[in-house]
Chains A and B, each alone.
Chain A
Amino acid sequence: MTAVSLTSAAVELVGGVLLAPLLPGLVQHWKARLQGRRGPSPVQPYRELRRLWGKSTVAPQGSSVVYRWAPAVSASSMAVAVLLVPVASRAPDLGIGRDVITLIGLLALARFAVTAASWDGGNGFSLMGASRDLTIAVPVEATLVLAVAVAALVSGTTNLVGIVAGTAGTAVWSNPALALGAVAFALVLVAETGRQPIDNPDTHLELTMIHEGPLLEYAGRDLAFLQWTAAARHWIVLVLAAQVFLPHTHSAWAQLAILPVALVALCAALAVTETLTAKMRILLAPRLVAIGGIAALLGIASWLVQIS
């Protein structure tokens, strides 16, 4: 194993597991600044995790093992997903492959666990969030598959390490297929991170929650797992956006060096869109995401035209 692949593996583990909560922290921090508030410090998510870690969990009456295990299953599948996503084109296979379709399966497993748990807890608001989450997941999953299919076709593999290498350079600016794929992925990114205009992470009104809804009954370490899951989800989609759909260099060392810059820029972009847009009507969100799907389809069509 070379130095660069060892470093990549280390960055994945440290970055994905430990630094992930910094990403939503940064977005919240800058969003508050943009809105003229002082806002929380970027390390606020860590403080919350520490606070939750010391608290007792809550078991709603009549809940079963599904409710108790869901946060662990959700966090585990997201942790495995973090290890699937390479931070550089020389990242080693960690024994679980690097396949992008597997990643989509793991996201589905996390969603299954949390939404099934909201039936177990029996909280009506949780179920409302769960049913909305599952509804929006339909166009999101289709768009995500199409967006990564664009990248997979351009680079000739669904292996993410191969995709990072195959999309290196500034092809994303010049190749219409990748540009359209990037548009699709941007919408997926907003949906998966639960940000405006699709979801509002700051809401405290149960009636409007989507991703937060199924978390309502949870407390203590359970909630800590779920909050970390949400942060890791930020890490996964932002790293994918940076290393596949944004221009990146061919050299793996340079990719590692630029990654923090790209992640910070993407967080800033999220803060700006959060400030500029309002949450849209929930029934319109699938349409917005579907537009991304159509963009990705056009991307595949333009790739087909290019190669023929």
Chain B
Amino acid sequence: MTAALLFAALALIGLGIVATAASSTVRAGLLAQAGGAALLGIAGFYALAAGTTAGSGFTSAFAPHFGVDGLTAFFLGTVGLVAAPTLLFASRYLDATARGRTVAALTGAFVLTLVEVLCARDPLTFLAGWELMTLLPAATILVAHSDRSARRNVFLYVAVTHLAGAGTWVAVLLAAHAGALDGGATIGRGSGLQIAIALAALVGMGTKAGVMPLHSWLPRAHPIAPAPVSALMSGVMIKIAVYGLVRVLVDWLGVLPVWTGVLVLALGALSAVGGVVYALFQHDLKRLLAFHSIENVGIIVLGLGACLVLRARGADTWAALALAAALLHTLNHAVFKSLLFLGAGSFERAVGALELDRLGGLLRRMPWTGGAFFVGALAIAGVPPLNGFASEWLTLQALVHVPAYGGLGDGVAGAVALAALAATAALAVFCFVKVVGLVLLGPPRRDAVAHAVEAPLAMRSAMFFLGGACLVLGLAPGLLVGSLAGLAPWHAVVPTAFGLHPPGTGSLRTVGLAVALGVLVPVLVALRSRSAAAPAPAWACGQLVQPQLRWTSAGFTKPLRLVLEAVLRPQRQIAVRVQGGVVQEVAYSGRIPQLLDERVYLPALRSALTAAAHARRLQTGRLGTYVGYLIALVLVLLAAAKTGLIG
């Protein structure tokens, strides 16, 4: 059943890719792809719920093998759930020009690659898919934008993910060599090999997931892609890296030492807080959303870290729940982030540039798109009763239980991670209040925005579907958590219910909460609406509110910028032009530098380039020099053989 559904899905996506070749069938092709993706989602969640496996299991052999197990099924479901509405959106978003058709075909191929990585059951197929998964979005971006800055950002993206991606190769090949893939051989706990594989996976897959401090490529690459591709990159591609991390750290490596779990917790806390703090100070909507991907990957990694620590401490049930929290947030983030990126794409199509300070009032102009975007914003801000809150709730619970089962060191680490996640949640509320305020509310801030028109039905329905998914996943997270906790390779039983009822602690009664809010809010609104409302201008101490007096993104976040000044090191320049003793003009510019890029990566890059320039002197281009090198090499080898160093 699973295999049949999967084959049908892949065939439909393949057919859809072929159909995008002609401009008359490009829309039908994308719809076929969307249908295929929907089948993929059904296949994935069906296999997860039924607990079925298909195809072969993991093998260390270097021949193509494919198969589906529970973890793969869950991620296949996630890919399908996000890709189906995204491709439906793309069917109206992309036009039938050669450029649009190429993007359409590449998007379908990208989805197929993701499926290939997930279903790969041998190291070679996995790694081949892994590389393709990096290259296809790069190609898509280059097809969509051919300007210099886009080329530069794509180069950086490919370079960073390939350089650090070596970690993935090292991890997978070492694990295959040790025979850990098929579960035959176990790697000794705390052995050098186990640690090496874990660290290599953290570097390689962490880069791909956008974990700080390896995130520099993400905010550059994600915003410049066409909206559906951005949605797939942020929603799904970086989640495949999470799949890789879970596969290596939880599935293949057995029980890791406690300190690796603490390291993962630290990486998660840094990404979560760092991602959302930098997101707050962005002035472009898509770039802001990209930084939020770093934040949410951080939350997922926090869950994963809690899982590793709890596993090492022998708290099997809570380790499984922490894993379930990480996976649940993976799904939730995939849903609301793709919704937000698609919303951003609709706004961009309607009004052009997405500079936050020059939007405004789009809820009035585009009520359906704006409403769906609002739901996504509430979900990512983590407020009940939407899905973002449910998975953050479970992650917080898992982190509370880290000290409960831990020693002093990892217990304190768990508590710090707990505080970091709480601060992240508060910062996310801050950030999305700002986004909602600047994008959806208030008066329009430029002419194009004042004349925006609502998106077409296909695009709207894609966003509605995702918004509905935010609501459903917020109401019934417990239906998934049971099967997700069951994916842990150790034995753990978690009861299945609508809400979240982890054993021995408080429970999140999602339905009760939603009903209580759903009854109270309309009643109170009805009560207030009985009295008359007097229209009045907003109070500005008797002045008229001029456009210049309106609040900006930078102004709204200023208190936080001042509080965090010591960490963020904001830069600002004020240039005053004085003529004849009279100030003519005051120019102000301020920015928040990416400290990691400017203090670590750029100096490292510069010194590497300098070293390369020095090394290039060895290449003189004269035959005599190279003969000299050869003779020197032979002499050195001979000397080494003579003294017994080699041979």
Contacts and interface: CB of A to CB of B under 8 A. Distances in A.
Interface of A: 54-62, 64-66, 68-69, 71-73, 75-77, 79-80, 83, 93-102, 104-106, 108-109, 111-112, 115-116, 118-125, 127, 130-132, 134-135, 137-146, 149, 152-153, 156-160, 162, 206, 216-217, 219-222, 225, 282-283, 286, 293, 297, 300-301, 303-305, 308
A72 B441 contact: no
A156 B433 contact: no
B505 to A, nearest CB: 5
Contacts of B427: 138
Could you say which of B441, B443, B506, B563 has the most chain A C-beta atoms within 10 Å of its C-beta?
B506
Contacts of A134: 426, 429-430, 433, 560
Nearest to A52: B531
B52 to A, nearest CB: 34
A106 B558 CA distance: 26
B403 A60 contact: no
A146 B403 contact: no
A66 B441 CA distance: 8
A286 to B, nearest CB: 5
A300 B412 contact: yes
Interface stretch (B108-116, B206-214, B510-518): B510-518
16 contacts: A57-B531, A60-B538, A61-B537, A73-B517, A80-B513, A106-B384, A112-B429, A120-B442, A131-B560, A134-B433, A134-B560, A135-B559, A146-B419, A283-B559, A283-B562, A304-B403
Contacts, number: 277
Contacts of A69: 521, 525
Given A124-B550, A304-B412, 6 more contacts: A60-B538, A61-B536, A96-B509, A99-B506, A118-B437, A159-B507
A108 B381 contact: yes
Contact of B531 (A56, A102, A115, A139): A56
Interface stretch (B56-64, B160-168, B173-181, B389-397): B389-397
A297 B415 CA distance: 7
B423 A222 contact: no
Contact of B512 (A62, A97, A293): A97
Contacts of A77: 384, 517
Contacts of A54: 531
B455 interface: no
A58 B536 contact: yes
B3 interface: no
B429 A137 contact: yes
Contacts of B422: 104, 141-142, 144-146
B412 A102 contact: no
Interface of B: 361, 363-364, 378, 381-384, 389, 393, 396-397, 400, 403-404, 406-408, 411-412, 415-416, 418-423, 425-427, 429-430, 432-433, 436-438, 440-443, 499, 504-509, 512-513, 515-517, 520-521, 524-525, 527-541, 545, 549-551, 555-560, 562-563
Contact of A221 (B416, B438, B528): B528
Contact of A62 (B433, B442, B507, B555): B442
A105 B408 CA distance: 29
A97 B509 contact: yes
A115 B433 contact: yes
Nearest to B532: A56
Contacts of A141: 422-423, 425-426
Contacts of A61: 535-538
A127 B562 CA distance: 17
Q: State the main secondary structure of chain B at its contact with A.
A: helix
Contact of B433 (A73, A106, A119, A153): A119
A122 B550 contact: yes
Contacts of A142: 419-420, 422-423, 426
Contacts of B550: 122, 124
> 7 closest A-B pairs (Cβ-Cβ)?
A119-B437, A99-B506, A72-B524, A76-B520, A145-B422, A158-B506, A159-B506
A100 B520 CA distance: 21
Contacts of B540: 123-125
Contact of A109 (B383, B432, B527): B383
B74 to A, nearest CB: 25
A283 to B, nearest CB: 5
A284 to B, nearest CB: 9
Contacts of B437: 116, 118-120, 127
B559 A282 contact: yes
B556 A127 contact: yes
A140 B429 CA distance: 13
A160 B441 contact: no
A274 B361 CA distance: 41
B506 A146 contact: no
Contacts of B443: 62, 122
Given A98-B506, A153-B404, A123 B538 contact: yes
B536 A59 contact: yes
A221 B527 contact: yes
Nearest to A293: B419
Interface centre among B429, B499, B508 (most CB of A within 10 A): B429
Contact of A153 (B393, B403, B438, B531): B403
Given A102-B513, A116-B433, A75 B423 contact: no
Given A116-B433, A131-B556, A144-B422, A64 B364 contact: yes
A173 to B, nearest CB: 22
Nearest to A75: B524
B528 A71 contact: yes
B283 to A, nearest CB: 16
A57 B532 CA distance: 6
Contacts of A73: 517, 521
A101 B396 contact: yes
Nearest to B556: A131
Contacts of A101: 393, 396-397, 506, 508
B363 A64 contact: yes
Given A119-B438, A145-B418, A160-B506, A105 B382 contact: yes
A15 B441 CA distance: 37
